[in-house]
Structures are given as C-alpha cells and as structure tokens.
Structure 1
Amino acid sequence: MDPLAIATEATRSLQGMSTELTARVPHLLEAMQSVGTGLELHSTLDRIAETAAELADARYAAIGVIDSTGEGLADFITYGVTQEQRERIGALPDGHRGLLGALIHQPAPVMLADLSSDPRSAGFPPHHPPMRSFLGVPIRVEGEIFGNLYLTEKRGGGEFSIADLNMVKILATEAGIAIGNARVHDEGRQRMRWIDGSVAVTTALLSGSDAEDALAVVAEQARRLADSAAGIVLLPDDEGGLEMVAVSAEDPAGLLGTVIPPHSPVVGQLLAGEPVFIDDSATDPRMITAVAPRFGPSMLLPLKSGDRVLGTLATPRRRGARKYTAAERRLAAQFAAQAALALVLAEAQRDRERLAVYEDRDRIARDLHDLVIQRLFATGLLLESAQRKAAEPDVHEKVGQAVDELDVTIQEIRTAIFALQQEPTEAPAGLRTRVLRETGTAAVPLGFHPSVNFIGPVDAKVGERTGKNLIAALREALSNAFRHAQATRIDIVVDVTVKLPDGREAVRLTVADDGTGIPEGGRRSGLRNLAKRAESLGGSSSYGPGIGTDGGGTRVVWEAPL
C-alpha cells in the first residue's frame, strides 16, 4: 500500500477515536464525580465497578483487591453477576492462577477480543456466565498497586475500543484517589472502634467481675470488633497445650473445652508471644483441632503483658469470609495487648480482694475459737452445776439435753473454724468436695451457709469437663445471689439421676434463693454465660421463681450430659 495512504488512514482512525473520546467526556466527568463521593471503602469499590461498566458499556465488572502478600486476592467485588449466579459459581477467584493471577504480577492494561484465546486464561468454573471480550487496568493508590479493574462482555457482542481503554484508565486513576481517601477513613473508624472496645474491656474487668466473667468479656468484645464468627480465649493447660476456656459465638457447641495439643505447630509460637495469622483454618495444616474445619481466616494473638504470656485470643471468621487486612491485624494485636494488661490488673485486684476475704476468715476463726467456744464452755459448766442441784427429774433431764446440744454446737463451730482456716488447694478434688468448697467460700460474703443436697453418686458419674463447667455455673449463680438478690436462704441440689429428653444421662444443678428476683430489664449477662456453658456441652440452662414467699426469688436450673 502507498505510504501516504497508510498515513492518511491512521490519521482518520486517530481522529475517530479522539472524536469518540471527546463526545464521552461529559459522561466521564460525571462518572469521576460519582466515584469520588463517599468514604466507606466497600461502597466505594461497588460504585467504581458499576460506574466503569456503565462508562465502557460492559455487562460485567469486577475489582480484585490484592492481599498483603502481593500473591493473591484478598477481596473480589463484582457488578452484573446476580446473587443466584454467585451461589452457583461457588468460591470467588483467589488470583493464584489464570489471567487474574498474571495481572497481579504484571500490572498493565490488557484488552482482549476473546478471553479464551489468551494463553494465560485458565477457563471458567461450572455455572459461570459466558464472557468473551475483556478489558483490565491496574488501580494504584499512592503509587502502590491496590488491585485491578476488570470489564468483560461488551454489550452488543462487540469488542472494547481504545477509547474505552483510555476512559477506564482515567477512571482507575480517579478511583485510586477515592480508594485512598476511603481507606484512610475506614482505618480511622476501625481504630476508634478498637480503642472504644479496649476501654470497654478495661472498664468491665476492673468493675469487680470474677475471672470467668473477665475472659468472657474479652471474647465477646474481640468477636464484635473483628467481625468474626467467634471470639475465643485460650489458656495454657497442664499438658502444655491451649484450652478454650471462654467462647463467644452464634454456635458455641463443641468449642468450650477444646484443647490445641502441645505438638501443634502454633502452640509454641503463641506461648513464645508471637501472633499467628491463618488464611483458611479448614485447610491450613497447622490447625489440627476438630473444630478447625468450621472456620476460615483466623487471627491467633498472644495475650501478653511484659514478658508474661497469659494465653491466646482467637478470632476465626466463617469459611469463605474475607481475609484480615494488615490494618485489622495491627489493631487486633494492640487490642490483645491492652486486654492482657487489663486481665493482669483485674487479677491483682481479685488477689487483693481474696486476701481481704482470707484475713476476714482468719479473724472470724479466731473470734469463734477465743470467744464463742469459751463462752459456750462456761455456759455448759453452769448448766452442769445447775443439773446436779435440780430436784425435779424433768428439769434434770432438760438441762442434760441443753448440755448435749451445747456439745454438738461446739463441735460444729470447730468444724467451721477448720474450714475457714483451710486453703482451697488442701481439699480433695472430687466434685462433691468442690461444690462444698464453693458454698463454704460463698458463705462469708453471704453471711450464712447455703444448704447443699446431693442425689446419686456425684463423684463417680460426672466427668471432669462437665464437672468443671458445673462448678463455674455454681460460682456464677452464687455470685449473682450475693451481688444482686439480697438472699437470706439458698438451696443447692446436685442430681445425677436425671435423663434428658433424648435419653442421655445428665447432671442437674439447681440453685434457688429467696431474694428479690430478677428485675424487669435487669442485667442478665451472668445467666447468658450459664446458658452458653450448658449449650457447649449439649445441655441447657433456665431460670424461674425461687423459694421466697409467694414465689419470690430466683431458681436457676443448669443441666449437662454426664
């Protein structure tokens, strides 16, 4: 062909593209203005995808957000794909292969007339809508690759033009600015939420709650802040592993009491004070517990204060959920450190309170021994002297009965003195003894001894895990009675002759008092904790009227399989 003719044809082609681009400038400016509004990151990404599709007249659009490693996709936002289609397709692209993976490692504009003809294409999964034409441009935020904007299936069955490519490149530049602003705003808002959560944890832990409540508060706050499926606190066990001792989850069944064994690859790292981040708990070989397949991305954060590692905070998300961002990991690690410090302070506060209780018990024991028993002895001697001088047989007999009663009373007081002076660790570890120890400890702040009744072979039938949770439930119920009920009588029954509706044998703990009952709209977090413990074992917990006059007070019934 004549070189002059070639030059003339090229000039006409460029003029045509320039005219097309000029004609679409108002639309482009309007699109850029739409993209630049809003500060919420995900809504900004949705708006960018929709705007790009409309601008280039594409049926489908997507934005692949590159993960922190730069090797795959952390998020994939789509436009034009219905919810039904997404469910049929299944898992979203991860960016580790195919054309999308190639664009991560070679971030440059790509325009294809037919996707299937490109050697980098890996094809589509079953039920994926047909896509032929393709246009992809990288999105840069502050000079770094944030992700890629993809457009497919030009309407009318045609191909994307150079004008489409240029407009989308301009839009991607504007999108980078909008994403940067949204990301700064999003991180600032997240930071405030985590700070508020840390304050709430510290306030709750220092308000006088016991150790069980303290760990439950940490788990609940972590789950809310991390937007995770569960918040779990794990503490070191006797074998060197980590046991789940506090769980906040929609479905806590099977979690409480689960142990990560000491040979797990993550245990040594966590006990050394190093965090562990998991992209998918269900497939990661380091996650070897039976509950791991239930979850996806997870953070395992050491609860570390100074050089001391108290335990671990885990926040697993559901399978298929988005991975944790670098900002979320950093904020969660700061929250864990703050929670660990609050736990240490709360532990020190409880130690001071315990010391005060022990000192008070010692004082009571001394007073009983030095004053009460001596007076009872003196009274007994006076009665014996009067008995010898009594002329009437009936009087003589009744005085003798009074002396016998005094002897019994002295023996009971000596038993109480021994119990007050005994350290909790000196008692045997049977469930019956642990129940009596808890009620004996509660008697000091209550001002009276709760009555305790055992039905069936308690020590022989109740397993260790169920027994540990029963003691925690008893402690919670007694604490509620002391702090809120103003009770003057508490009846406790531990019954191992119970059968659940499905036929399984169970233990039932009943704690009934004659206090003020639960006020309308009153705080029920303690009762929720009891229910969660029971449900995690396959049991249940309920409450109702107590043993006060006219049905006053509160009755808590806690059941769990043996």
Structure 2
Amino acid sequence: MSTPVPPECCDDLDALSRALLAVTGQTATHEVLQMIVESARTLVGAEYAALGLPDGQGRFAEFYTSGVSSEQWAAIGPVPRAHGLLGVLMHDAHPYRVVDVQTDGRFSGWPGAHPDMRGFLGVPIVDRGDILGAVYVANGPDAPEFTADDERLLTILAAHAAIALTRARMFERNRELTLVEERSRIAQDLHDAVAQKLFSLRLTVGAAEALALKGDLDRSRVEFARVKELAGSALDELRAVVTELRPPAVREDGLVPALRKHIAVIGRAHPVEIGFTSDCDGRCQLPEQVEDVVFRVTQEALHNALRHAEPSAVTIDLRTPETGVVLTVADDGKGFVDDPARQGGHHLGLASMRERARRAGGRLRVESRLGAGTTVTLEVARE
C-alpha cells in the first residue's frame, strides 16, 4: 500500500511548478530576473524578496526587488554594495538562513527608509560552479523565521533560475550579435549609397560652377537644382538609417546593462581586453537624451579604438555625480599627433561624437600621444 502524500507537499509542488514555469518561460534577461524575485517571494510566502548580480567591483551590477514600492525604493537610495550578508552569498555557494538578520555579526544596518526585516534566507544562483548572483527573502508568512522546507524550495528554484538566466543571456547575446551584423550591413549599404550621391553631387557642383563662369546661367541653374535634389536625397537616407539604428536596449534594459551587453558582444569578436566600471546600475536616473548620447559615444569610441588604435586593452568608466555624467574611454594603442577628426575619412567618428556631445549640451575631449594611447572623455550635465 502506498504512503499517502501530505496535502501541504502537493501545495508546495504545485507552487514550485508554477514558479519554475514562470521563470523558464521568459527570454529577456531583465524579465527572467524580475520573475525569479516574484516567484521566490510567492513560493515561500515572504514579505520581501530581492536578487542581486555582482559586478566584480564590490557592487551589484543589477538589483531587483519584490514587495518594495517604487516610492520606498526611491527613498532608500542607491543600490546596496555587495557587502555584509548580501555579499556573503557572492562568495559562498551555500544557502544561508537566520532567525533575525539584525543579530547577525555581519549586519551593518540600512537606510532609514528601508523596511524592517528579521527572518532572512539567501540562496546563491550557481551555474557550473560560478556564482551568477543570489536571491534573498525576508520576513516569513507566519513568523519571521524561514524553515528548512523553505530553503529546499528556494534552492530548487535557484538551480532552475541559473539555467533560465544562462539561457536568456545566450538568447540576448545571439540577438545582439545579429543586430551588430545587421548594423554593419546597413552601414555598408549607407556608405555605398551616400558615397555615390556625394560623388554625383561633387561632379554636378563642378559642372554648375563651370557653366556659371561661362555665363550660361540657365544651364547652371538646372545643375544647381540637381545639386539640391542630390543633397536632399542623401540627407533622407542618412535620417532613415539613424532612425533604424536607435539603441533600443538602453530604454529596454537601462543604460549600464545595455552597455555591459554591448561590450560583452564586442569583446567576443576582438582579442582585446575590454574593462567596464560604473558607479550606478541600470537605474542611473538620467534623461533619455543623455543616456542615448553616452551609449552612442561609448559605441563610437570603442569602435574607433578597436579598428584604428591596435590596442591590447580598452577601459571604459562611467561616473554619474549629481552635477552630471562623465564617460571615459581609454586605450593603450598607437595614438596620434594631429586631431584625426580634421583629416576626414573614417576618422569622422570623432567629429560625430563631438556633435552628439554638443547637441546634448556637453563637451568631448580627446587626448592622445603617439605610441601612448588615446583617451576620450565625455562630460554632460544631467539637465
């Protein structure tokens, strides 16, 4: 005779099944992460839940919460550093459970607006020995303390979350690679089409000038009308491509996550060490125009360094103080003496970056020495 299964076991299995289906059904990384947090909170009946991904610099690259309102989150302030109990699970691939988090020796307090938490359970998200992040829950449903069953359920969820997160990242990397390839194709098409129009434009201007010098004003007017037509056509093509190449990842994921993804994709295509640091996560709270400019200038500066400077390393740093934004892209490549933005050709990328900075009310500085690398610095006010 089979042993009857307790009703609460079935309830746990049903809840776990729903949570796993919800998590694995997502393909966008930020959606997977938010679903893990929501599922963890629901699965163990916690009042609060959070999930953090480390950036390797003692902070969280991304941090997601459930049970905390947007007003509370804004009052709490910046994303916490990966220290104390939050940081333990970034280095130790074992669950951690405590009756009262405030009595733990590693508890270091929290901001005044932070909700009161007692019972705590943290479980690392591990993929083939690598700690991808950790999920945390606080304040159980009937008492602050979480049980061994809660830990077991959350551990199973975290194991499947690692698979779902890895899958989502692979999906987004493939998508990003496709976008990079498509942008390269569009850029080539644009170059070919606009180059032809500019060549025709140059010939037509020459013909118009020659006719004007001969005094044949009627025919020169015809040629100048053609000049106007060619210029307008080239401008229309440029606008169409610029519109198509808007950075959708910035609005979808946030500035810093979008930059990390782009840098990761570019890094796989070039044998160059590319480092990225930032003092904020995806919620940098910058105007859209500023975020777009920072993203585009980073793209262009990185592209220029990899294509022309022959560097062994490129470092990208983003600072977001209250007064404004400072982006620095530095390489250890061959450098240059004269400003290449004045030399035409492929170096027009620097002129494009300066124009982007100017339109955003900022400024771009380029410092370089022959054989000693190049540093591009963008400074833009928040408002």
Given the two structures, how large is their TM-score scaled by the length of structure 1? Answer: 0.40
Residue 531 to residue 65, structure 1, CA distance change in 2 (3 Å): closer
Question: Which residue of 2 is the match for residue 294 of structure 1?
Answer: 324
User: In the TM superposition, what is the alpha-carbon distance from 1:94 to its structure 2 partner?
Assistant: 2.7
Aligned counterpart in structure 1 of residue 92 of structure 2, from 106, 117, 127: 106
RMSD of aligned alpha carbons: 4.8
Report the equivalent of 1:50: 38
- The answer to whether 1:150 aligns with 2:136 is yes
Q: Which has the larger radius of gyration?
A: 1
Q: Percent identity?
A: 28
The reply on whether 1:168 has 2:168 as its aligned counterpart is no
- Does structure 2 retain, via aligned residues, the 8 Å contact 1:31–1:55? yes
The change in CA–CA distance for 1:41 and 1:530 in structure 2 (over 3 A counts) is closer
Q: Name the counterpart of 1:250.
A: 289
CA apart distance, 1:282: 4.0
Q: How much does 1:273 deviate?
A: 3.0
User: In 2, Cα distance between the equivalents of 1:163 and 1:106?
Assistant: 21
Distance 1:277 1:218, change over 3 A: farther
- What is the alpha-carbon distance in structure 1 between the residues aligned to residue 312 and residue 76 of structure 2? 38
Query: How far did residue 103 of structure 1 move?
Result: 1.9
* 3-state DSSP of counterpart to 2:20: helix
Q: 1:76 aligns with which of 63, 75, 87?
A: 63
1:178 maps to 2:181: no
Contact 2:89 2:134 survives alignment (8 Å):
yes
SS of equivalent to 1:126: coil
CA 1:537–1:78: 2 relative to 1, 3 Å:
closer
Residue 61 of structure 1 is matched in structure 2 by: 49
The 5 Å alignment of 1:126-141 reads 126-141=112-127
Unaligned runs of 5+ in 1: 1-14, 232-248, 256-266, 284-291, 313-341, 348-468, 473-528, 539-562
> Given the superposition, is the C-alpha separation of residues 38 and 536 from structure 1 closer, same or farther in structure 2, using an over 3 Å criterion?
closer
Match runs of 1:380-419 below 5 Å: none
Q: Does 1:33 align with 2:26?
A: no
CA contact (8 A) 2:20 2:157 kept: yes
2:139 aligned counterpart, secondary structure? strand
Partner of 1:92: 79
Report if aligned partners of 2:16, 2:153 keep a CA contact under 8 Å in 1. yes
Q: 1:530 to 1:164 in 2, by over 3 A?
A: closer
Paired AA for residue 124 in structure 1: W
Deviation at 1:30, TM superposition (A): 2.3
- The amino acid that maps onto 1:115 is V
Q: Aligned partners of 1:179, 1:537: CA distance in 2, in Å?
A: 37
Residue 24 of structure 1 and its aligned partner are, at CA, apart by 1.6
Contact 1:139–1:148, Cα closer than 8 Å, also in 2: yes
CA distance in 1, matches of 2:38, 2:193: 50
Aligned to 2:379: none
Deviation at 1:130, TM superposition (A): 1.1
Return the TM-score normalized by structure 2: 0.57
Partner of 1:189: 175
Task: Say which SS state the counterpart of residue 28 (structure 1) adopts.
Answer: helix
> Deviations along 1:88-115, whole A, 9 cap, x unmatched?
11101131x2211222122320111111
Residue in 2 that maps onto 1:277: 315
Question: Judging changes above 3 Å, is the alpha-carbon distance between structure 1 residues 120 and 535 closer, same or farther for their aligned structure 2 residues?
Answer: closer
CA distance in 2, matches of 1:192, 1:42: 19
Find the residue that maps to 2:79 and give its secondary structure. coil
What amino acid is aligned across from residue 139 of structure 1 in structure 2?
I
The alpha carbon displacement at 1:27 in A equals 2.0
| 8 A Cα contact 1:204 1:217, kept in partner | no
Counterpart in 2 of 1:119? 105
Find the residue that maps to 2:142 and give its secondary structure: helix
In the alignment, the residues of structure 2 paired with residue 203 and residue 130 of structure 1 have an alpha-carbon distance, to the nearest angstrom, of 58
Of residues 340, 343, 346 in structure 1, which corresponds to 2:346?
343
- Secondary structure (helix, strand or coil) at the match of 1:129 reads coil
Deviations 1:295-351 (A, max 9, x none): 27x5727698xx787999xxxxxxxxxxxxxxxxxxxxxxxxxxxxx927x99xxxx
Once the two structures are TM-superposed, the CA of residue 52 in structure 1 deviates from its matched residue by 1.0
Paired AA for residue 329 in structure 2: L
Measured in 1, the distance between the counterparts of 2:176 and 2:338 equals 25
Cα 1:174/1:537, change in 2 over 3 Å: closer
CA distance in 2, matches of 1:276, 1:107: 32
Query: RCO higher in 1 or 2 (8 Å CA, sep ≥ 6)?
Result: 2
Kindly provide the amino acid, as one letter, of the partner of residue 183 in structure 1: R
SS of the counterpart of 1:128?
coil
Q: Which residue of 2 aligns with 1:224?
A: 247
- Consecutive unaligned residues of structure 2, counting only runs of 5 or more, are 199-234, 260-287, 295-304, 340-344, 364-383
Amino acid paired to 1:250: Q
Amino acid at match of 1:224: P
CA contact (8 A) 1:60 1:152 kept: yes
Does the 8 Å CA contact 2:138/2:144 hold for their aligned counterparts? no
Asked whether 1:199 is paired with 2:180, we answer: no
Distance 1:143 1:103, change over 3 A: closer
Once residues 536 and 48 of structure 1 are traced to their aligned partners in structure 2, the CA distance between those partners, rounded to angstroms, is 40
